[in-house]
Structure 1
Amino acid sequence: MTPFEWILAACIAVMAVSLLSGLVLVLRTDDVLTRAVLSDLVFYAMICIFLTWTLTNPTSIGYEVALLAAIAGGVLPTLSMARIISKGRR
């Protein structure tokens, strides 16, 4: 492994720990707003892990998947968070 791959592996490990701690907190909390924010954290952590993984493993569709997830991840969580905060009122 090259030094760059070691750095990427360390970054993926840190992101995985963050993702797992977010999942544990989602399961332990009762607050709906906290769960919504943590679900965004888990989603973005998965995108980051995938994008970091594609830097050393060439795929034909890797960046397209990441861009689609970023677009969907930017709009949909904002709308769902607004609905949760307003308790479903329009």
Structure 2
Amino acid sequence: MFETILTTCIIVMALCLLIGLGALILTKDELSRAVMADLVFYAMVAIFLVWTLLNDTMIGYEVAILAALVCGTIPTVSMARIISRGRR
């Protein structure tokens, strides 16, 4: 039962990831593309973390910690560069 629920969650997140990729390809605004790129990254990390509940892995928690660190700094810096159009 639990595996079925987790598999359903992975499928829903994968569909959201594909919709986000479609929006990323179709939009022309740079700021919207940056936000959609963050959405794709967060969806991939979430799918991996749910997958680790189904499969034993040695680095599941390390990936979560690294993703939390990366998700906090890199999107902020890239969003600032996009808003300022590369000016310093």
TM range (shorter): over 0.9
Aligned partner of 1:41 in structure 2 is 39
Aligned partner of 2:63 in structure 1 is 65
Residues 8-87 of structure 1: pairs in structure 2 closer than 5 A: 8-87=6-85
TM-score (norm 1): 0.93
Q: What is the deviation of 1:70?
A: 1.6
Structure 1, 38-47 or 69-78: larger mean CA deviation:
69-78
Large movers: runs of 4+ above 3 Å: none
Segments of 5+ residues of structure 2 without an aligned counterpart are: none
TM-score (norm 2): 0.95
Q: What is the deviation of 1:28?
A: 0.8
Query: Structure 1 vs Structure 2: percent identity of aligned residues?
Result: 64
- Number of residue pairs the alignment of both structures matches: 88
- RCO higher in structure (CA 8 A, sep ≥6): 2
Structure 1, 44-53 or 80-89: larger mean CA deviation:
80-89
Segments of 5+ residues of structure 1 without an aligned counterpart are: none
- Residues in 2 aligned to 1:24 and 1:74: alpha-carbon distance in whole angstroms: 24
Q: What is the deviation of 1:74?
A: 1.3
Cα RMSD (Å): 0.8
- Residues in 2 aligned to 1:56 and 1:44: alpha-carbon distance in whole angstroms: 19
Alignment-mate amino acid for residue 41 of structure 1:
L
Is 2:23 the counterpart of 1:6? no
